[in-house]
Structure 1
Amino acid sequence: MTVVVPERERYIDVYRAVALVRVMIYHLAGWAWLSIAFPAMGVMFAVAGSLTARSLQRRPAFDVVAGRLRRLLPPLWLLGAVVVTGMIIVDGGSLGAVVGRWRELIHWIVPVADPPGDVAAGGGSWAENIVAPLWYVRAYLWFVLLSPLLMWAFRRWPVRTLLVPLVVVAAAGTGLVDLEALGAPGDAVRDFATYGACWLLGFAHRTGQLRRLPLAAAVAVAAAAMATGLWWALTHPSEDFGYDLNEIPLAQALWSLGVVLLLLRWAPPMGGVDRVPGLGRLVDFITARAVTLYLWHNPAIDLAWVLCERAGVSAVWAAGLVAAALTLLATMLFGWAEDLAARRPVRLLPGLLRRRAATRRPVGARAIGLVFGRVGLTALAAVVLASWVTAPAADRTPVASDRPWTVSAYLVPWDLDRGLASLPAAAGPLSAVSPVWYTPADDGALVRNDDSPVEPVAARVRALDLDVVPSISNFRSGEWDAELVRRLIGSPALRSAHVSAIAETARDQGWDGIDIDYEALEPADYAAFGVFLNDLAAALHADGRRLTVALPAGTAADRPELARLYRLAGAVVDEVRVMAYDYAWEGSGPGPIAPVDWVEDAVAHVVTYVPRERVVLGLAAHGYDWPDPGSGAEGGGQDLMYADAIAVAEEHGREVQWSNDAQTPWFSYADDDGQVRAVWFEDAPSLAAKLEVAAEQRLGGVFLWRVGGEDPTLWDVLDDAP
Structure 2
Amino acid sequence: MFRHALTVSGVVACTVTTLLACTASVPAGATTSATSGVQLQTWLYPGSTGDSQCTAPSEYADGRVKDGALNPEYWTVGDDGSVTLETTADGLCNTYSAANVADLKAHSANQYPTLSGMTTTAVHALVKSKSTRTAAVTKVTSLVNDAGLSGVDVDLEDYWSWSTADFTNYKTFLGQLATALHASGKRLQVDAPAMTEDASFYDYASVVATGVDDLVIMAYDEEFDTASGDRCLPISPYDWLKNVTTYAQSKVTDPDHLIIGLPSYGYSAPDPCDLNSVTGNIQFSAMRQSPGFSSDPATIESRRDASSGEIRWTSGGVLYDYVDSVAMDRKLAVLKGLGVTKVSVWSLGGGNPWFSN
Name the TM-score class by shorter chain.
0.7 to 0.9
Matched residue, 1:500: 138
The answer to whether 1:431 aligns with 2:72 is no
Partner-residue secondary structure (3-state), 1:629: coil
Taking the aligned partners of 2:295 and 2:324, their CA distance within structure 1 comes to 19
| TM alignment of 1:589-668, pairs within 5 A | 590-610=232-252, 611-629=254-272, 635-648=277-290, 655-656=299-300, 657-668=303-314
Quote how far apart the aligned CAs of 1:496 are: 2.1
Taking the aligned partners of 2:295 and 2:356, their CA distance within structure 1 comes to 27
Quote how far apart the aligned CAs of 1:649 are: 6.2
Identity %: 23
Matched residue, 1:708: 349
Taking the aligned partners of 2:134 and 2:293, their CA distance within structure 1 comes to 53
Taking the aligned partners of 1:487 and 1:544, their CA distance within structure 2 comes to 28
Instruction: Return the match for 2:338 from 667, 691, 697.
Output: 697
Partner-residue secondary structure (3-state), 2:281: strand
The answer to whether 1:577 aligns with 2:213 is no
Quote how far apart the aligned CAs of 1:574 are: 1.1
Quote how far apart the aligned CAs of 1:429 are: 6.0
Partner-residue secondary structure (3-state), 1:544: coil
Q: How many residues align?
A: 300
Distance 1:412 1:445, change over 3 A: closer
Could you tell me whether the CA contact under 8 Å between 1:586 and 1:636 is conserved in 2?
no
Could you tell me whether the CA contact under 8 Å between 2:75 and 2:83 is conserved in 1?
no
Could you tell me whether the CA contact under 8 Å between 2:287 and 2:293 is conserved in 1?
no
**Structure with higher RCO (Cα < 8 A, 6+ apart):** 2
| TM alignment of 1:292-691, pairs within 5 A | 405-414=38-47, 415-427=52-64, 431-441=68-78, 442=80, 444-448=82-86, 451-452=91-92, 454-455=96-97, 456-474=99-117, 480-521=118-159, 522=162, 524=164, 525-556=166-197, 560-561=199-200, 564-571=202-209, 572-585=211-224, 590-610=232-252, 611-629=254-272, 635-648=277-290, 655-656=299-300, 657-669=303-315, 675-691=316-332
Taking the aligned partners of 2:261 and 2:53, their CA distance within structure 1 comes to 20
Partner-residue secondary structure (3-state), 1:639: strand
- The structure that has the greater radius of gyration is 1
Quote how far apart the aligned CAs of 1:694 are: 2.3
Distance 1:586 1:433, change over 3 A: farther
Structure 1 residues not aligned, in runs of 5+: 1-29, 32-403, 475-479, 670-674, 717-722
Quote how far apart the aligned CAs of 1:443 are: 5.4
Distance 1:592 1:704, change over 3 A: same
What is the identity, as a one-letter code, of the residue corresponding to 1:460?
Answer: D
What is the identity, as a one-letter code, of the residue corresponding to 2:325?
Answer: A
Quote how far apart the aligned CAs of 1:465 are: 4.1
Q: Normalised by the size of structure 1, how large is the TM-score?
A: 0.39
What do you get for the CA RMSD once the two structures are aligned?
A: 3.0
Distance 1:709 1:538, change over 3 A: same
Q: Normalised by the size of structure 2, how large is the TM-score?
A: 0.75
Quote how far apart the aligned CAs of 1:593 are: 0.4
What is the identity, as a one-letter code, of the residue corresponding to 2:222?
Answer: Y
Q: Which has a greater percent of strand?
A: 2
What is the identity, as a one-letter code, of the residue corresponding to 2:129?
Answer: S
| TM alignment of 1:219-258, pairs within 5 A | none
| TM alignment of 1:94-173, pairs within 5 A | none
Could you tell me whether the CA contact under 8 Å between 1:530 and 1:569 is conserved in 2?
yes
Taking the aligned partners of 2:270 and 2:46, their CA distance within structure 1 comes to 27
Alignment deviations for residues 166-193 of structure 1 (CA, whole Å, 9 cap, x no partner): xxxxxxxxxxxxxxxxxxxxxxxxxxxx
Quote how far apart the aligned CAs of 1:699 are: 2.7
Taking the aligned partners of 1:636 and 1:443, their CA distance within structure 2 comes to 29
Taking the aligned partners of 1:458 and 1:587, their CA distance within structure 2 comes to 40
Q: Which has a greater percent of helix?
A: 1
Structure 2 residues not aligned, in runs of 5+: 1-9, 12-36
Taking the aligned partners of 2:266 and 2:67, their CA distance within structure 1 comes to 22
Distance 1:651 1:465, change over 3 A: closer
Could you tell me whether the CA contact under 8 Å between 2:311 and 2:321 is conserved in 1?
yes
